[in-house]
Each structure stands twice: as C-alpha cells, then as structure tokens.
Amino acid sequence: MTTHQVELVIPNLGDFSDVEIIEVLVEPGDEVAIEESLITLETDKASMDVPSTHAGKVRALKIKVGDKVNSGDVMLTLDATELVESESTVVLDIEVQKAILAAATPTPTPTSAPTQTPTPTAEVVREPQTGETHSAQLVVIGSGPGGYTAAFRAADLGLQVILVERYPVIGGVCLNVGCIPSKALLHAARVIDDAAAMADHGVRFGKPKIDALALRGWKNKVVARLTGGLTQLAKQRKVTVIHGVAKFASPNRLVLDSGDAIDFEHCIIAAGSESAELPGTPDDPRIVDSTGALELDPLPMRMLVVGGGIIGLELACVYSALGTKVSVVELTDVLMPGTDPDLVRPFRKIIDKRYESIMLDTKVIGMLATVPGIEVVFEGKNAPAQEVYDRVLISIGRRANGDKLDCEKAGVNVDQGGIIPVNKQMQTNVPHIFAIGDLVAGPMLAHKASHEAKVAAEVAAGQKSAFDARTIPSVAYTDPEIAWVGLTETDAKRGGISYEETKFPWAASGRALSLGRDEGFTKLLFDKATGRVIGGGIVGPNAGDLIAEVGLAIEMGADATDIGRTIHPHPTLSETIAFAAEAYDGTLTDLYMPKKR
Ligand SMILES: Cc1cc2nc3c(=O)[nH]c(=O)nc-3n(C[C@H](O)[C@H](O)[C@H](O)COP(=O)(O)OP(=O)(O)OC[C@H]3O[C@@H](n4cnc5c(N)ncnc54)[C@H](O)[C@@H]3O)c2cc1C
C-alpha cells in the first residue's frame, strides 16, 4: 500500500461563508477512515460534520475550534493510504461526498430497494430465465399499491395469480421511493422543527447534528421492513412473483425481457408512473428527481426545487429542516396548484420565513453543470438573473406508464400521456384486461390505486363490483400538513355549485394551543339544499389523519348535526371538525360564531 500526502479541504459550502468550526474530532497521528468525521461546522441552521475523503494518518491540522472557514480552506494534511476520486487535493463537495457515500453504501442486493427513478436495469432479478411459458388465471403487471393489492385480493377470491415486477423488490413507487420513505424523512424533519420550536417555551436542545448516512439507513430500514412484509404476504397467498419487464404480445399473452411468456385469462395493468423530465436538463448527479432526493446523497448547502407541487414541497420541508437553504421555483402563480388558496396560506407564511426564495410565475429556461454547482437561468415575473445551486430537484409532476407496455398488441387503447381509459369496473376497452392506479385517470395517489385494485380483482373473479367512491382525500405532508376531501371551494366556484362554508380556527382549540400550533383551521363545505357535508379542508399538524373523518361524513351523507352530535374526545384536534359542524348548526359554544342563516 502506497502513501502520499494530501491536503483535505472544506467542501463547497454554497453561499455560506465564514462558517464556524465548533469541534475538531481528530489530531495529528490519528488514523482516519474514509467517511470518518474530521470537524463539525455550525451554520445558523444546523451543525454538520465534514467527513474525510481519504483514509490515512493525520499529519498536521491547519484549523482549530473557533476558526471561521470557507469553501476550499485547507483543514489538514494527511498521509493518505487510499485515494478516492482523483489525485487532486482540492476536491469539490459533490464529488467528495458522492465518493464517501458510495464507499459507505452496501452493494445493492436483491432485497434492497431501487434507488433511482424506475427504469429497467441490469439489476433486475429474473426467475426463472429459461424462456418458459407460464399460465395464470390472472396476471398483474406491477407490484405497487395497485398491483400487490389486486394480486392479493384476487388470490383471496380463489384466483391463481402471477404478479410481475421489473425490480427485485416489490412494493412499487409508494413503498420504495414514494409515500413511505418520504414520510420517514418528514418525520425526522418534524422532530427537528418541534424541538427547535420548544426553545421559545423554555425547553432548549442543542443544534441538531445531522448524520445523513444514518438517517438514510433508518429510512431504508423502514422501507425494507414493509417490502419484506409484502413478500411474506405474497407467499402466504401463493401469489407467484416473477421479476422481469412485461409487455403485451397479444390479448392473452405477455412476454418478459427474460424470454419467458405468460398466458393469461385476465390481466390487470398496474405499471404506475415515473417522474416527468424537464427537457434540456443536463445529465449531472447534482440534478435529481424525487427518488434521488430521498437518498440525501449528499446533503447540499443550497438547493433549488423546480416545481411547487406536493412532492417537491414535501422534500423541500425535509431538506430545509436538515439545514439546506431551499429555493422553490413554480411556473404558475400559486404553490400546490389546485388546492384552495386559504389552505396553503398558513404553510406559505411559515416557508416565506424559512426558505431562501419562492419564485412564482417563474420558469427555469436553462441549466448548466459547472464545477461550483448547477447554474440555473430563470425567466418570469420573479426571476433572478442566474443562480448557482449545489443540488437541483426536478419535481414537475409524474407521467403515466401506459404507453410503455405495447398495449396495442393486446388491442388496449392508451390516451396521450400514457393514461389508459377504463370504466367503473376498471376494465379497459378489452374487457378481460383491467387498468388501475397512476396510469388511469384521477389523482396519482396510493390509496386511489389500492381501491381501484380491489374493484378490478373482484370483477376479474366474477363479482359485481364498481369504483363508486364519492371522494378521494388528498394530503400534503408538509409542515403544517394540508388535507382536503370532496368538493373544494376552487371547484365549487368554477362549477357554479352553491355551498355554505364554516371554518373553525385552531387558535380556539385547546389541543392546538397546547401543541404550540395555532396557525391551522378546519373548514367544512355543506350543500345549501340538503345541509350535507360535501367537502372539507384542514391545515395543521396531523391534518392528513384528521381528514378521514370528513371523508367518512361525505360517504355516509352526514350533515352538520350528525357530526356535531358525535362525541369527539377532548382535548383533540378532531374536535375542530365537530366545532366546524356546530358552527354551521349554530350550536357552537367554544367560540362566538353567530349563525348566519
Ligand atoms: C416522492 C413521492 C411521494 C409520494 N407520496 C405519496 C403519499 O404520501 N401518498 C400517496 O397516496 N401517494 C404518494 N405518492 C404517489 C404514490 O407513490 C403513487 O400514487 C402510487 O405508488 C401509485 O401506485 P401504482 O400501483 O399505480 O404504481 P407504482 O407504485 O408506480 O408501481 C408500479 C410498479 O410497476 C412496475 N412496472 C412498471 N412497468 C413494468 C413492466 N413493464 N413490467 C413489470 N413491472 C413494471 C414498476 O417497477 C413499479 O414497481 C408519492 C410519490 C412520490 C414519487
């Protein structure tokens, strides 16, 4: 093993300057490993360790506690026994941290989750690869919340089922790179923010020390536990899982890229969606989609989120809490387009203070990958001339996968944008072939996919079933959470639907006050003629859990009295739904809101 002297430098700190060193973790003579923390820096947002890019023995320190450092300053000299990226002694943040993370990341095994945007890759494990022809009463393409639910329900109804998945791990986007990992990271963000918020109320913690690798490891463990559970459930139900990329060869045959074929009586297409791409985006590891962003690889100092929709804003919340300076650029003049503006307002107030900038009515017209970062050129009302970011998250929506399956060979119609038209039984124009989830019309949500899945499986098994849900709830798991169900005021106004609205402010909720969160509210919309609940929106912590009650009220045709007279536990945030109903009925005593009607 050869050694040679290298200078280790402070990585790219974005536009942070004069950042204080609060701890030096090594001294001359210490042996350090790649990724071992060398010093701890503290910005006004968080403290973070700078890991070693090389293995070797520390020769001399060039810094001490209390020093203020900038990108490129020399930290120490090292007799390196291993060189990671290049012979250069000045290594950029992104390259350094990439190398470190690569060294620290276990080689993907068949049980590890996909880490990139789903695309067929050589990692796919296929079993068997013999050019064999299988047959099934029902074959399901895709193992996301749509596909696995359909397969399991059909098996429970007695069908012999094959589930085909192109990746080695089942669970689809939702479990592997969507709902579940994002919520694990959002939980971490909430803990950080809640802890910081308590400082004003007499409970002070130190600034958080973020170990991005450990956090990523925990998130991956959560995912692995769930996907492992799914594999078990498939076994218990005797659902055969075959790994491979499936395409139609005819109305009753699929072919896999392994050379296998599957003959089927019924097929459910549940192949989901993929992140939409921004044309002209350079190919650079610092530009990621949501899948890349979930890897925290590495934590950037300064990040631009392109797209102010739910997925982008959830990830913005995560990165902001972890200490990154976040900017958001959105083409339209609102965040979370389609959501009632009053629901978004409390969230906007919070992020206006926290984020570096929120650029509405603005678009990205160019990106250039340069050594210091990604140079982004903007155009629009609120456009800065040009900015440089360490990371750019492209989050401009998702595109359905319906047009990637050779559906024409089965005679199945596919609309523009990869959407497959279906009836209420989830049947395509070819009645024994069904389609569900993100690749059929409607919101791209896991709970919609799984409901459609049950309908398709039941119809395939000969049952009379239809998708007749009145509403599909939507939730942004931002902080505060924003949730709505049924008719929105935006849609009511657009459609000329007459409604009445009541709003209960959380500033009058004992539970909200005791959580230190009085910015939210609960609103209900009522049908003017019948008095029934037809919509609702909630903003505040746990809004996503609370909205289920409003959904149930709509499905059951409940009116304000039904909700108001249902005893809600005190003190809870759920009371705010009852209070909003009582306000409509004129029976509310917790606030003075005289009946208007
Ligand atoms: C970051 C992020 C956060 C999200 N958070 C939420 C949330 O909080 N709540 C929510 O409801 N939704 C959320 N979503 C959306 C949710 O993940 C999707 O709506 C849901 O996964 C759709 O389920 P699906 O079964 O239709 O498809 P998918 O989950 O996309 O699964 C499709 C599967 O089909 C496989 N496949 C595709 N083509 C083939 C082929 N030719 N052969 C074999 N297999 C194939 C894919 O590999 C994939 O595993 C989130 C999405 C993202 C990206």
Q: What CATH code is carried by the domain that includes residue 16?
A: 2.40.50.100
- 564: containing domain: 474-585
- 8-state DSSP, 18: S
Q: Are 146 and 174 in contact (CB under 8 A)?
A: no
Digit-coded pLDDT (tens) for 493-537: 999 999 999 999 999 999 999 999 999 999 999 999 999 999 999
Q: Report if residue 281 sits inside a domain.
A: no
In a domain, residue 172? The reply is yes
Please tell me the distance between residue 109's alpha carbon and the centre of ligand 1 in angstroms.
21
Contact yes or no for 400/276 (Cβ under 8 A): no
pLDDT value at 19 more than 90 = no
DSSP E strand stretches across 29-182: 31-32, 37-42, 47-51, 55-61, 68-69, 74-82, 133-141, 161-165
Instruction: Give domain status of residue 595, yes or no.
Output: no
Q: Are residues 412 and 265 in the same domain?
A: yes
Q: Which residue is it, tokens 């913690």?
A: 205
**Mind telling me the catalytic residues?**
570
Q: Separation of 480 CA from ligand 1 center, angstroms?
A: 25
Same domain, 32 and 155: no
Same domain, 509 and 492: yes
Do 447 and 316 lie in one domain? The reply is no
Rounded-to-integer distance, Cα 141 and Cα 188, Å: 34
Closest residue by CA, ligand 1 atom 13: 179
403 burial (CB, 10 Å; 0-12 / 13-18 / 19+) is: middle
Domain end among 442, 469, 496: 469
Do 228 and 368 sit in the same domain of this protein?
A: no
Residue 545 lies in a domain: yes
Continuous segment of H or E residues that includes residue 539: strand 533-539
Evaluate whether 429 touches 412 at the Cβ level (below 8 Å): yes
On average, the pLDDT of the chain sits at 89
Q: Does 390 have pLDDT greater than 60?
A: yes
**Who lines ligand 1 at CB under 6 A?**
118, 141-147, 164-167, 172-174, 178-179, 182, 245-246, 270-273, 290, 311, 401, 405, 437-438, 444-447, 449, 477
The strand pair at 302-306 and 391-394 is best described as parallel
Q: How remote is the C-alpha of 264 from its chain's centroid?
A: 34
Whether residue 530 is found in the same domain as residue 430: no
We report the CATH number of the domain holding residue 380 as 3.50.50.60
Q: How far apart are the first and last CA of the chain?
A: 85
> Are 295 and 367 in a shared domain?
yes
Sequence-ordered list of residues with C-beta below 8 angstroms from that of 260, at least 6 positions apart, any chain: 126, 128, 129, 130, 131, 132, 133, 134, 242, 244
Q: Do 460 and 353 have their domain in common? A: no
The domain boundary residue, chosen from 412, 442, 469? 469
Which residues make Cβ contacts (< 8 Å) with residue 253, sequence separation at least 6? Answer: 261, 262, 263, 264
Please check whether residue 528 lies inside any domain of the structure: yes
Kindly list the distances between the CA atom of residue 275 and the CA atoms of 272, 280, 313, 361, 362, in Å, as whole numbers in the listed order.
11, 15, 15, 22, 20
Closest ligand 1 atom number to CA of residue 290: 1
Confidence of residue 361 (pLDDT cuts 50, 70, 90): very high
Q: Say how many Å lie between the CA of residue 255 and the centre of ligand 1.
A: 22
179 lies in the same domain as 249: yes
**pLDDT tens by residue, 402-438:** 999 999 999 999 999 999 999 999 999 999 999 999 9
Q: Which position has the token pair 């064999």?
A: 132
How many domains, the chain? 4
User: 499 with 492: CB under 8 angstroms?
Assistant: yes
Kindly report the CATH number assigned to the domain that includes residue 486: 3.30.390.30
> What are the residues facing 376 on neighbouring strands?
367, 387
In angstroms, what is the span from residue 274 Cα to ligand 1's centroid? 8
Residue 350 belongs to some domain of the structure: yes
Of 103, 118, 153, the one marking the end of a domain is: 103
* pLDDT of 471 over the 80 cut: yes
How buried is 500 (Cβ within 10 angstroms: 0-12 exposed, 13-18 middle, 19+ buried)?
A: middle
Environment class of residue 165 by beta-carbon count within 10 Å: exposed (0-12), middle (13-18) or buried (19+)? buried
Q: Are residues 552 and 526 in the same domain?
A: yes
The answer, yes or no, to whether residue 128 has pLDDT greater than 70, is no
Ligand 1, atom 12, residue with closest C-alpha: 445
**What is d(CA 320, CA 297) in angstroms, rounded to the nearest whole number?**
15
Instruction: Determine the average pLDDT of the residues in 358-374.
Output: 96
Cα distances from 425 to residues 409, 455, 461, in angstroms, run 22, 6, 12
Considering the domain architecture, whether residues 294 and 390 belong to the same structural domain is answered as: yes
Measure the CA–CA gap between 463 and 225, rounded to whole angstroms: 33
What is the rounded average pLDDT of the residues 342-352? 98
* Within a domain: 280: no
Q: Which of 188, 163, 180, 187 is nearest to 225 (CA)?
A: 180
Q: Is residue 282 part of a domain?
A: no
Q: 263 and 406 share a domain?
A: yes
Region for residue 85 given its phi and psi (left: phi exceeds 0; alpha: psi -120 to 50; beta: otherwise): alpha
Would you place residue 292 in the very low, low, confident or very high pLDDT band (cuts 50, 70, 90)? very high
